[in-house]
Amino acid sequence: MSIFLDAARDESGHAVTLAGALVAAIGLILLGIGAANDTGWLAVAGGIVAAVGVLGYDVLRHTRLDYGFFDRLDKLEKK
């Protein structure tokens, strides 16, 4: 279990953004199933879930990874 927690905290693996990518993937699968079965409500719901996942991925990436990079760059520039 410790290996997964270390991977989630480590910036090199980018495991923290996996949550957003998984939500987007589930939404896209639902969208495809809804479109193939001509089920409008499922296609719309899948599109909304996919959009939330894509936005969630970007927010997680920015808040968890980019802030750390920019903070270290700012510290290096001050030296």
Rounded distance between C-alpha atoms, residue 38 and residue 34, angstroms: 6
pLDDT tens-place string over residues 16-73 = 777 888 899 999 999 999 999 988 999 999 999 999 999 988 888 888 777 777 888 8
Token pair 């001509």 is found at: 38
Query: What pTM does this model have?
Result: 0.70
**pLDDT of amino acid 2:** 66
**Cβ 61 vs Cβ 17: under 8 Å:** yes
Q: Does position 13 have pLDDT exceeding 70, yes or no?
A: no
d(CA 28, CA 30): 5
